Structure 1
Amino acid sequence: MGGTISPRAAGIACMLAGVACFALNDALGKWLVGGFAIGQILLVRSVAGMALLAPAAWRAPGAFRRAPAGRMAGRAALHAGESALFFLALSFLPLAEVVTIYMAAPIWVTALSPWLLREAVGWRRGLAVLAGFAGVVLAAWPGGGALGWGSLVAVAGSFTYALFVIATRRLAGTPVVALLGWQVAATALLGLGLVLAQGWRPAGLLELLPVALLGLGSLLGNGFVNKALALAPAAAVVPWQYTGILWGVALGWLVFADVPGPRTLAGAAVIVAAGLYILARERARQP
């Protein structure tokens, strides 16, 4: 008996594929920060991303002219900053812990919405935000001792990523190729600046190939996620982004022999529960 895949199922499949691409990219990034400076990783990744994006940009030159330069530059700067913070956090912390803290970004977005998006947040979602922040504290403070620099960097990166998401919302309708082009260019500039400050570790083409693959993984992940949101409602596909925590735990254990502690797992559970509740409340408020 034959049948066609529904748009909803196709959207979920694309979201799962996108999350998988990002997860594999994250694991590769953690492996690379042990041998390369962050600036070098950002620069090579971005140059590879530019090369892959060039054909699409060439076919749509008008996309860049229609984009508001000021807002695009601000959004791109946020992306470059959160990318650098993410790799820096990976140099301090296990993969699962960094991924868990970054999954709190939707909670940050909800908390900031009244001021930056002029969106009302009721008391129920307000309580969910507080619960989510409690989950962040659990995940970022797994040992119960002094809060380390790595945890602070991861929290700062999660917050910066939330600002990036808000900036993306405010650019709704902007061609995707323009969004990607600006953010890749900004990350390349930041990478170049860090290379000038940190220096360049000599490496052959084969050594740099895994770094370049980060650009491919990032573009593939963004492509799958954008396709997922085009095929199905956000409420149907966004919850599946939390499978990234499962990927982080699995890859951290298989590749780096990192086993998350009970506080990290408890924090992840609280963050996921709070995020899903916020999403459900947003869906209920829609007419």
Structure 2
Amino acid sequence: MLDDFLVRAGLAGIGTALAAAPLGCFVVWRRMAYFGDATAHAALLGVALSLALQGPVMLGVLAAALVMAITVQAMTGVGLAQDTSLGVLAHSALAAGLVGVSFISGVRVDLMAYLFGDILAVTVTDLALIWGGAAIVVGLMIWRWQRLLTATLNPDLAQASGISARVEGLVLTIALALTVAVAIKAVGALLIGALLVIPPAAARPLARTPEAMALLTALIGCAATLLGLAGSLQFDTPTGPSIVCAAAAAFAVSAVGARIWSKR
């Protein structure tokens, strides 16, 4: 079954959506959308380093994303506003990655795949890495769910309960880096942030509890992945952007439906 590239692509997309779903909820609740973008932009620098060192691309992306996320946290509160720090680091990392890739022979043809994803070229090894990473992210979110939720929605209660905001922030940082490494094959470095933000934004008006929002986000992400994949094959469009367009359509339907329902 795994010899069929469409089956591999679908499974890779579903694994990516499952990894992004619970983390995306916290990205929306904490207003960390630009933080996700900054981490994702570092992915291309990780790609360049991996290719230069002839190492696994996913490992290089994970390392670069983790370094970026930790650096952003460290720079917060040292005199620069967080959005300024994020802007400087995100664009610098993206530019450095693009320049670095240009120095490596034989990579220019594949640059679009790293920027916008190449889910149709997923191998069985890639699939194992994607689902392994997704399992770690989901397991980490389940393990820390209540503590993360308390630290996010009620910081005063978290402090009174002995929950460390710094530790929970580190957990989110690690999960975000893993998700970026998982998602780069499916949607590429430029659209990972969209996959983290749009499905939970679409689920938010429809969910009554945080857990329901996480589950609905996973369903929307999986549906957008499969619809985007089908649309890409039908209309010969780039797969990664097609997946994001499908998620954006789900958000539009959710927003309009919520507005109509609220007027009843």
TM-score (structure 1 length as normaliser) = 0.30
TM-score (structure 2 length as normaliser) = 0.32
